[in-house]
Amino acid sequence: MFKAVAFADDLAIAYAVKKNGGVSGIVREIMRTVCDWCARVGLTLAKEKTEIILITGMTAPKVIGLNVDGMAINTVEATKYLGVMIDTNRKFGKHIGPPGLARRLYYSVWESIIIYGAPVWADAMKYEKDKKIIKRAQRTALCITSTAYRTVSHTALSVLTGNLPIYIKVRMLMGIYERKKIYKNSAVGEEVIERHAEKKEDLEEVKKKASTEWQAERSIYRKRIGKEVDTKCWDCGDPNDDAEHVLFACPKWINRRIEFENFLGVRISVDNLVDTVVTRDKYWRKFREFCKGIMRYRRDMEKAMESANRRGATSTRR
């Protein structure tokens, strides 16, 4: 037997079952009974407003399809009845409100509108009447943000939500604006601007130098530590086996180089490589992949050479 609860033009029908099977048939029979009763007393059931919610456990199915007099009625995850949002898991998350991030987003939109042009009207915060108006508006917004009672004070809401009172924030923005204006027109400001310009020039110079002066590759390093007698390239015999040679000239890597250039859409050189690969993340990732492939090959080749040298030394001692 089902239980009906009606208030004004809202009607809720509850029915409890122990098993999932046969729920559709039970709901269909209840809907027919309600429709027949409405027809007898001269009422009409608004099927487009009718919703079904299955209040079940965490793992039970929560969706069924139902057709009543040619109209499809689907289940919902939450429904509102007499001002209360009821959800399938009985957690009342929908009723409590959106998550904290969403509420803070709504408040930040409201606050950005309120404090627009704050330096212009900040002097109004000197008057208690204007301050009360802005506090009243902020208190309403903070109540919605924190879902607190409307009796909570403005100060308590500011502490709970971690938001400065608007009148304080407006004065702070006004102070920042005034300091910027003074700083911009002062000799100190001009000196700092010139200093930043010099640093920018130095940075550009370092960047240009870094793009042309490449770190030595394995052959040069190995010669420096006494493991090689020359700096020839292991693959093509070029006298200088440095990074510039490997990336731009060595015929061993011509296929990978062409593939890399096709991916970038430009022909790489010492002058444009750095500026090109830092423009997009996918270019940088491709460049790293290109370099890692070369370094991995060189590392394996070096290990093979050292292993062969060790075997040769062992056989000589024998």
Under a CB-based contact definition with an 8 Å cutoff, are residues 249 and 243 in contact?
A: no
pLDDT for 211 equals 45
Cα→Cα distances 223→216, 217, 232, 240, Å: 11, 10, 10, 11
Cα→Cα distances 177→170, 174, 185, 289, Å: 11, 5, 13, 47
State which residues of the chain have pLDDT below 70: 1-2, 19-22, 57-71, 90-102, 185-196, 198-200, 202-230, 310-318
pLDDT for 213 equals 42
Residue 71 amino acid letter: M
**The model's pTM:** 0.34
Residue 35 amino acid letter: C
Cα→Cα distances 241→71, 220, 286, 290, Å: 78, 7, 23, 17
pLDDT digits (tens, 9 = 90+) for 79-125: 777 777 777 776 666 666 655 666 777 888 888 888 888 888 888 88
